[in-house]
Amino acid sequence: MLTLFFCVLLAALVFEFINGFHDTANAIATVVSTKVLTPRNAILLAACTNLLGALTGTAVAKTFGKEYVNVEAINMVTILAALLGAIIWNLATWWLGLPSSSSHALAGGLCGAAIASSPKGWDVLYWSTGLWPKLVKPMLISPVVGFLLGFVVMTLLNAIFRNSTPSKVNHLFGKLQIGSAALMGYSHGGNDAQKTMGIIALAMFSGTSKGAFDHLPPWLSFLKLAEFKDIPDWVIVTCALTMFAGTAVGGWRIIATMGHKMVKLMPVNGFAAETTAAVIIESATRIGIPLSTTHVISTSIMGVGATRRLSAVKWGIVGRIVWAWVLTLPVSGFMGYWLLRLLHFAGAH
């Protein structure tokens, strides 16, 4: 069981690392596309602000760890299958250059694996109290809010600076966009890193409650988690540093999609999109709601671009992105389900 736990821990950190470079585009695609920062400096900014955000708060981690599925009905193998399903989906969408949601991939994998591992089947899911209010409803609402708020913010900025020359506007927002990109990176780290913290804490709680850690040597006693109240400090720091490392690697395929292909951006557009997304994500983080940072920043960019004219947004690219969003939960859930079956067939218990 201890070996299995370390396999889960390794898979969780791999997921967090991939999450870092997969979602780097969330924080820096706009600041790169507007040429306010070089790609190297933008990634450094995103990595540092992601690290700071990941070290603040655990409300999202607690939601992700105990409010989606019945924790008594899952075990280490369940969690391992969930992580593997999310990793496969993240790598596939990264390779295709599609900004899908790492959060929904992990949630889908967890739900699918939990259904497969429990004799209760679908009853193992906390649908009405957890999944609907804290996953599915925010998934449906946050993109709409991102689009509308991005449209409103950009409309206001256009009205305020309508008599300014383009060069003055670009100069001003070229500076302000560094701040908005930093805020976006901070909010992304605060929301996204916590999801892996919750999964690791769930594995620790599962091992402790099922007696698997009863005979650990004293130097491994830090692995025990008798109550799912506080996330251990070592989990928070480890996840934060792993996301920092993953972010530093960068995710150029997705940066190209979000920063260049979807709509042509100027510094004022980037500022509006990043500020809009950061405010939405940070607000959700404070109340423990795991959001898809990908959905929010993508739709904020669309809303900002639509203030010029609807044709300014390349809706063919948007259609591909939306399909990735729609498929993430069911496909990752399907993979989590069958990976659990495969692990059981291979003798993992």
Look at residue 113 in the predicted model and tell me its pLDDT.
Answer: 94
Look at residue 21 in the predicted model and tell me its pLDDT.
Answer: 75
3-state secondary structure of 125: strand
Tens-place pLDDT, residues 87-116: 999 888 878 777 678 888 999 999 999 999
Q: Is the pLDDT confidence value at 261 over 60?
A: no
Q: How confident is the model at residue 247 (pLDDT cuts 50, 70, 90)?
A: confident
Q: Are 277 and 238 in contact (CB under 8 A)?
A: no
Kindly state the average pLDDT of the residues 118-125: 88
Q: Is the pLDDT confidence value at 254 over 70?
A: no
What does the DSSP 8-state code read for residue 123? Answer: G
DSSP string computed for 165-191: -HHHHHHHHHHHHHHHHHHHHHHHHHH
**Where do runs of H (alpha helix) occur along 118-223?**
137-160, 166-209
Q: Return the residue matching tokens 């950061």.
A: 278
Q: Is the pLDDT confidence value at 125 over 90?
A: yes
Of 151-155, 250-254, 273-277, the one with minimum mean pLDDT is 250-254
- The model's pTM is 0.86
Select, from the ranges 4-13, 134-143, 220-229, 246-255, the one with the highest average predicted confidence (pLDDT).
4-13
Cα angle value 203/330/304 (rounded, 5°): 100
- The pair of structure tokens assigned to 30 is 């706009």
Of 34-38, 205-209, 233-237, the one with minimum mean pLDDT is 34-38
Taking the CA atoms of residue 285, residue 289, residue 290 and residue 292 in that order, the dihedral angle to the nearest 10 degrees is: -90
Distance CA 218, CA 162 (A): 67
User: What type of residue is 244?
Assistant: F
**To the nearest whole number, what is the mean pLDDT of the chain?**
85
Report CA 18 to chain centroid distance, whole Å. 10
Q: Is the pLDDT confidence value at 53 over 70?
A: yes
Percent of the chain exceeding pLDDT 90 equals: 35
Q: How many residues does the chain have?
A: 349
Kindly state the average pLDDT of the residues 259-287: 83
Kindly state the average pLDDT of the residues 146-169: 93
Distance CA 194, CA 237 (A): 11
More reliable by pLDDT, 278 or 74: 278
Distance CA 27, CA 177 (A): 11
- Sign of the alpha-carbon dihedral angle for 315, 165, 30, 59: negative
DSSP string computed for 233-296: HHHHHHHHHHHHHHHHH--HHHHHIIIIIS----HHHHHHHHHHHHHHHHHHHHTT----HHHH
Q: How confident is the model at residue 259 (pLDDT cuts 50, 70, 90)?
A: very low
Tens-place pLDDT, residues 299-331: 888 898 888 776 656 666 667 667 777 889 999
Look at residue 315 in the predicted model and tell me its pLDDT.
Answer: 66
Distance CA 78, CA 73 (A): 9
Percent of the chain exceeding pLDDT 70 equals: 89
- The pair of structure tokens assigned to 311 is 């044709």
Of 17-26, 155-164, 207-216, the one with minimum mean pLDDT is 17-26
Of 30-34, 48-52, 130-134, 187-191, the one with minimum mean pLDDT is 30-34
Q: Is the pLDDT confidence value at 272 over 90?
A: yes
Of 32-41, 46-55, 142-151, 323-332, the one with minimum mean pLDDT is 32-41
Look at residue 318 in the predicted model and tell me its pLDDT.
Answer: 67
